Amino acid sequence: VQLVESGGGLVQAGGSLRLSCAASGVTNDDHGIGWFRRSLGKELEGVSCIGMSDGITYYSDSVKGRFTISKDNTKNTIYLQMNNLKPDDTAVYYCATPCGPTSQAMGVMAALYSTGFGSWGQGTQVTVSS
């Protein structure tokens, strides 16, 4: 499985960005694809996840109400619309699979990052200036 992110950049606080993640080599529709982020000096955080077959979504408390995850199964692509961005959202954002619709599932996947479990994109930088 190969995941390629795009859409990061520099934006002022209160602004918006949309991230995209194109997946290739996926053979099973029964999986989730999601977003994780790592801020400088902080641990990897599970941000959002969407089930590619059932559309069930998950959001961390820190982004709930501001970020929206969506999918286009015809393109095997997911999107993360980020509105009302804050300086605390500054991070490298990674697309990854699998993921699950609970904080526990996202925490397990984040913890397994260094082991090579699952598939991860190369990351895209999001910088929010105050």
94-129 per-position pLDDT tens digit: 999 999 999 999 999 999 998 989 999 999 999 999
pLDDT in tens, 35-93: 999 999 999 999 999 999 999 999 999 999 999 999 998 999 999 999 999 999 999 99
- Compute the distance between CA of residue 42 and CA of residue 99 in angstroms, rounded to an integer: 20
* Rounded mean pLDDT, 15-25: 95
DSSP codes joined into one string, 2-30: EEEEE--EEEETT--EEEEEEEES---SS
